[in-house]
Structure 1
């Protein structure tokens, strides 16, 4: 079901977007190399040389690509049933974090330089239309697709209800009733790009890692891959944002600070997830850097996205030869 969001679009990303991403990658690679050297830091000339290579080999191809992509958002719908057991007409309250989905769509279009903005009224209209066509008495995953011309499409899939609530993962583990996710650490780092920071149809990097990593595992449990960038910083899961229980802030050392659920900052490369944003606003999680070297086999991890809400998982380390 398509609809035009608003006005026309530009033909290339804004220069500001390009410049921000250049500094984004250079800072990560500088940290990576300085950590490897341990004693001597990179000189200004070395940083400039590295920047030129990054721009030529990694960044420019992303912005020169002629392959079209769409900005997407996955919105959860759950029916509301009245006291008589009748499903009421779909309303705003039926769509999980709808305001954050709308805001992220528009943040994404601004980043990529598209002259398109989606109103909440239009988004709700298309979502309700799609839900009614699919059957409003069941929980649904509503995939919103927006292209550079402003065409808005919604596709739906039936999904399981969440009887224990969408924030169940925040409960202590002994009060957690849903299945624990099997979270496998990726054997290789992922390259960060605008397509890890923003949710689009350009997901080949995620699909490739999932196919290579998720082989076997506990039967019947949902699976996820824990990702990290080339500087060894934990970023996210392949379909979720993540948080680990750690002392905060990390710079005060393990003897001080307060135990909190910590999620990687956006500067390390993860998706700007809607549930992540909600938990930060509620102060259920905080931002701080997390490093792969500190992740332990079997430890708890908090997973979050716009369809699952907040769930729990256990880390599983696998060897590269497995």
Structure 2
């Protein structure tokens, strides 16, 4: 789709989307090892399934798509049964991209999911962080070279993705398989989000605005923070998970407070939680 003012994009030309992981290992790990930090339903192979339904419904409500809203009045069992029709081999992990248009038509694109440890799908804890540190090197997290204007298409995930595609191109990301991400920021120089992830930064707890949800407190005087939606980023499913389970709190993150080499976390609905390091000096 060619770039054009968001106000002029007709409803019939785009869909609302959510992307999630199907992984047959999730139920066993969720119920046995992480029952206290994983939301209902714990027996579903679809990662954070109700959160994805809610995300789509919130987007349909924002755009006032009556037929899409009607379609998305699905309970967890109905939603799971709908997705099951697209899974050809239930013994393997898959990446599902759910798209719903303004008329309530739903399509599900299925592709092999990138391999990851099942434990990376759960909010980081001390043992998970230790395991993660011994596995793959952290992703590199670059900062975009120009701001992105917040809009309904940054708050809600849709097929209108030109800003994110451009941000990735500006820092040289060529593939979704590359262990590289770009941080987008608004004209006020507030970090919004990553192009395909939610970021989390480690900050001293005494300077964190405690108005955010969740405790996120650390015994060492530090806390994990993620940018508030008021900065313009997406209401992601793993972001909601991290906030509800107290891994982090919301707080403004300004571009000028990022530190070259600082360690952070990223997350999304396909890969879970990913270690990353900020790279400001290329």
TM score, norm. by length of structure 1: 0.70
From 116, 130, 143, the equivalent of 1:185 is 143
Of 110, 116, 122, the residue aligned with 1:167 is 122
| Mapping for residues 146-225 of structure 1, pairs under 5 Å | 146-163=100-117, 165=119, 166-167=121-122, 169-171=124-126, 174-176=130-132, 177-214=135-172, 222-225=179-182
Please state whether the residue corresponding to 1:130 is helix, strand or coil.
Answer: coil
Distance 1:175 1:75, change over 3 A: closer
**Structure 1 residues 148, 272: CA separation in 2 closer, same or farther (over 3 Å shift)?**
same
Match of 1:274 in 2: 237
Distance in 2 (CA, whole Å) between partners of 1:110 and 1:298 is 40
For 1:211, what is the secondary structure of its paired residue? helix
> Matched residues in 1 for 2:280 and 2:155: separation?
25
Q: Which residue of 1 aligns with 2:22?
A: 77
Answer with 192-201 or 67-76: which moved more: 67-76
1-structure distance, mates of 2:26, 2:251 = 40
Q: Flag the 1:69–1:215 CA change in 2: closer, same or farther, 3 A.
A: closer
What whole-Å deviation, never above 9, does each CA across 1:225-276 have from its counterpart, x for those lacking one?
Answer: 0111110111111100111000235368xxxx94110000000011000000
Contact 1:140 1:158 in 2 (8 A): yes
Alpha-carbon separation, structure 1, partners of 2:114 and 2:260:
29
Moved over 3 A (4+): 80-83, 168-175
**How far apart, CA to CA, are the structure 1 residues paired with 2:43 and 2:58?**
21
Partners of 1:215 and 1:106 in 2: CA distance: 31
> Does structure 1 conserve the Cα–Cα contact (< 8 Å) formed by 2:124 and 2:247?
no
Give 1:122 shift: 4.0
- 1:230 corresponds to which of 161, 180, 187: 187
C-alpha distance in structure 2 between counterparts of 1:106 and 1:285, whole Å: 25
Q: Distance in 1 between matches of 2:150 and 2:27?
A: 46
Alignment: residue pair count: 244
Q: 1:98 aligns with which of 18, 40, 49?
A: 49
Cα deviation, residue 137, structure 1: 1.3
Matched residue SS, 1:95: coil
| Conservation of the 8 A alpha-carbon contact between 1:181 and 1:313 | yes
Tell me how far apart the structure 2 counterparts of residues 151 and 78 of structure 1 sit (CA, whole Å): 25
Structure 1, unaligned runs of 5 or more = 1-59, 84-90
Unaligned 5+ residue runs, structure 2? 29-41, 210-219
Name the structure 2 match of 1:243: 200
Asked if 2 retains the 8 angstrom alpha-carbon contact of 1:244 and 1:263, the reply is: yes
Note the alpha carbon deviations across 1:57-109, whole angstroms, 9 max, x for none: xxx942332361100010210014999xxxxxxx9610010011111111110
Secondary structure at the residue paired with 1:94?
A: coil
Larger helix proportion of the pair: 1
Compute the TM-score of the two structures, normalised by the length of structure 2: 0.79
Equivalent in the alignment of 1:43:
none
In the aligned structure 2, how far is the partner of 1:239 from the partner of 1:204? Answer: 13
SS in 2 for 1:199: coil
Q: What SS is found at the alignment partner of 1:205?
A: helix
